[in-house]
Amino acid sequence: MNKISKLLPMTNIIAVFLQRQPRFSAPSWLLLSLLTLGLTSSLHTVQAATPQNAPAAINNLLTQIDTAASKGNSKAVLQFYSPNFTNGDGLNRTNLEKALLTLWKQYPQLRYTTKLQSWKSEGNTIVAETVTNISSAPSTNANNLALNATVTSRQRIAGGKIISQDILGERTLITSGNQPPQLDFKLPQQVKVGQPYSVDVIVKEPLGDDFLLGTAVEEPVTVEKYLNPSTLDLQLLTSGGIFKVGRAPATAGSHWISAVIVRGEGITMVTQRLRVVK
C-alpha cells in the first residue's frame, strides 16, 4: 500500500478538502459512540437475544438519543459514559469529547439513526450490538460536501453507563463537488494475520477524456489518527480505478483502508475498517 506523505499541491478545492478531511476517522468513530447511548437505561433487568424481544422503552430511548446527537449536544452524550470508559482503539471519555466537538464543527448538521441488533445479560453487565447510520444534511456551500457512514459496534454497559466499546465494522463515504465519482469499493472486512488481501476501487462511470487522480492508503487505528488525520499524496491514475494487493501484519488489530478519487469537478473518499485476527 502507498505510504502517507505530504499532500501533493492541487487545485484549491482539492487542497482544502484533503487537508481538512483526509482521514474522516472521527465521523465513523463518533457513530459508534452515539449508537450505544440508547442502551444505557434499565437494561440490566431484562435478558434478550434479539431486538424483537426488547421492551419498547429501549427503542424509544434510542430515538431520543439520536435526536440529541443530531443537535450536537456533547454534554448530553457524555453523561452516558463511565468516567473509566475504554474503547478497543485506545480511546477514553476525554478523547470522545474532543472527537465529538471536532466532528460537529466540520459537519454541524449530522443526522443519526440507530438500530439495536442484539443484546444479552452477563451478570450485572449488558452486552449490546448496534448499528448507526449517519448522514449530513444537504450542503449549502459550493463544495457540496456530504458524509454518509455506517458503524457496527459492541458495547458493555453496567450501572447505567457504557464502560467499554469495540468497533466491529465501519465504512465512511465522503463526497465533494458537483459530480463526485461513483465508486465500487471492494475490501474484506476481516483477514488473518499475514494474509494477503486485495483493494479494488473501480470508477463506475465511463472515463471519456477525463483524468483521474487518487491513491489508496493503509493505516493502523490509533488515538493519534483519530485526532490528527494524515494527509494523502495523490497520483495520476492510468486506469479506471485503484487496484492494490496488501498483506496483513503479523499482529492482530484494526486498520483503516482509505481510497480517494478525484475526477473533473468531484472528489470521493471511502474509508473502511479492516480487522486483522489470529
> What CATH number does residue 259 fall under?
3.10.450.50
Identify the three-state secondary structure at position 211: coil
Average pLDDT over residues 270-275: 95
Model pLDDT, residue 228: 73
More confident call, 253 vs 74: 253
* For residue 138, pLDDT beyond 90: no
Residue 8 Cα distances to 23, 69, 100, 127, 152, angstroms: 16, 36, 29, 45, 34
| Most confident listed range (22-26, 115-119, 198-202) | 198-202
Residue 1 within any structural domain of the chain? no
> Torsion over CA of 198, 202, 208 and 211, rounded to 10 degrees?
-60
Model pLDDT, residue 86: 93
Cα–Cα distance, 200 to 259 (Å, whole number):
9
Average pLDDT over residues 245-271: 93
* For residue 251, pLDDT beyond 60: yes
More confident call, 165 vs 137: 165
More confident call, 273 vs 19: 273
Residue 136 within any structural domain of the chain? yes
Cα angle, residue 248 at apex, residues 33 and 4 outer, rounded to 5°: 70
Cα–Cα distance, 159 to 163 (Å, whole number):
9
Mean model confidence pLDDT for the chain: 77
Residue 264 within any structural domain of the chain? yes
Residue 79 within any structural domain of the chain? yes
Question: What percent of the chain is modeled with pLDDT above 90?
Answer: 35
Residue 7 within any structural domain of the chain? no
Model pLDDT, residue 61: 59
Model pLDDT, residue 102: 81
Average pLDDT over residues 87-96: 87
Average pLDDT over residues 151-158: 85
How remote is the C-alpha of 96 from its chain's centroid?
Answer: 14
229-261 burial code (b ≥16 CB/10 A, e <16): bbebebeebeebbbebebebeeeebbbbbbbbb
Residue 2 within any structural domain of the chain? no
Residue 33 within any structural domain of the chain? yes
Cα–Cα distance, 130 to 124 (Å, whole number):
19
Model pLDDT, residue 59: 65
* For residue 17, pLDDT beyond 50: no
* For residue 7, pLDDT beyond 50: no
Residue 78 Cα distances to 41, 84, 92, 99, 168, angstroms: 14, 12, 11, 12, 22
Q: Among 257, 269, 231, which Cα is nearest to 8's? A: 231
More confident call, 117 vs 58: 117
Model pLDDT, residue 248: 95
* For residue 123, pLDDT beyond 80: yes
Average pLDDT over residues 258-271: 92
* For residue 242, pLDDT beyond 90: yes
Number of domains in the chain: 1
Give residue-wise pLDDT tens across range 23-41: 333 333 333 333 333 333 3
Print the domain residue range for 94: 12-277
Residue 63 within any structural domain of the chain? yes
More confident call, 63 vs 183: 183
Model pLDDT, residue 85: 92
* For residue 111, pLDDT beyond 80: yes
Strand partners, 87: 165
More confident call, 107 vs 168: 168
Model pLDDT, residue 207: 81
More confident call, 163 vs 232: 163
